[in-house]
Copies of this chain bind each other. A is one copy, B any other.
Amino acid sequence: MVADMPSAVLPTFADVEAAASRLAGQAVVTPLIESTLLNDRLGSRLLVKAEVLQRTGSFKFRGAFNRISLIPEAERARGVVAFSSGNHAQGVAAAARLLGMPATIVMPSDAPAIKVRNTRDWGAEVVLYDRWKEDREAIGARISHETGATLVRPYDDPYIMAGQGTIGLELADQANAAHARLDAVLAPCSGGGMIGGIALAIAARSPGTGVYAVEPAGFDDTARSLAAGQRLSNAPGASSFCDALLAPMPGELTFAVNSALLAGGFAVTDSQVAEAMAVARDHFKLVVEPGGAVALAAVLAGKIPSGGKTIAVVCSGGNVDPDLYAQALASAGRR
């Protein structure tokens, strides 16, 4: 692929490998960890990709850096613009700073405070909008038109998908080094960019491993779209504390990849997610935000038969406001 390719071109495994080269020395190679005691309890081998340790506290830095690093020299001074509820915001802001470019981020006024503050601390200009009354895509397009800034989409972009796919590349290598033959990989899904990128990498590096998208209950558009064979939207009115996973429907490019490569999808409730956040604290010593914990929640809740299996889950982000974190942990049962 080249930088000015039409956006409708799908990413390939070669794009994931190219992204890995660009990210070398920039992104953290996050560890793949496990807990013997939790494995004993589950009767399976559970590997956790600790992506909360990524730069900016979530996987989003990978795709953002890969995408932004491809902006031609002549266009860099005009900067980038993105809209995001928070993790993409920070990923874009950090990547832009590292590449010496200005960034404007359009964020909902009810985004977690930690995400807004960190985005500003990375040096980006934050433009807040009302999630219920204003159209973030229109605001982003207007800013891009007025300033000439490159719009960096959150998921429906082949370079974004390829960047997130480097998680799958690392995961396959690390599982191999740990003598683990992966039966399944589960990762959180909103627009579908991360799971699609991972699926590209796993299909190439660990064929035979099932890749599954996990979404919050009420926002399982990808699972339902996979089952229906066409893109479906979420019904209005649902709510979830997984603020990072509220995309209304699968992306066009992401669904094209995911419908070809994914084995299926699962949905988990907020209380199952809170339980997973507590398990992440107790067994992995990781702070995981609600949206980052859905894949772990799916395994713990028995959504996929795990007995005797080796399953990897991505814990994709840890940017959670202190009060919400405390509430979630307090609501979880004791193990």
Contact = CB atoms under 8 A, between A and B. Distances in A.
A118 B37 contact: yes
A55 B36 contact: yes
A286 interface: yes
A326 interface: yes
A329 B330 CA distance: 13
Given A36-B55, A329-B322, A285 B282 contact: no
Grouping DSSP codes into helix (H, G, I), strand (E, B) and loop, the A interface class, with mixed when no group exceeds half, is helix
A193 interface: no
B53 A114 contact: no
A57 B285 contact: yes
Interface residues of A, number: 31
Given A33-B28, A57-B285, A287-B285, A326 B318 contact: no
A317 to B, nearest CB: 9
A31 interface: yes
Contact of A287 (B36, B55, B287): B287
Contacts of A287: 281, 285-287
Contact of A31 (B31, B285, B329): B31
A325 interface: yes
Given A31-B31, A326-B330, A37 B285 contact: no
A122 interface: yes
B285 A53 contact: yes
A275 to B, nearest CB: 12
A75 B193 CA distance: 56
A325 B330 CA distance: 11
B285 A318 contact: yes
A40 interface: yes
A121 interface: yes
Contacts of A334: 322
Contacts of A286: 285-287
Nearest 7 interchain pairs by C-beta? A285-B318, A52-B285, A285-B287, A37-B121, A281-B287, A31-B31, A57-B285
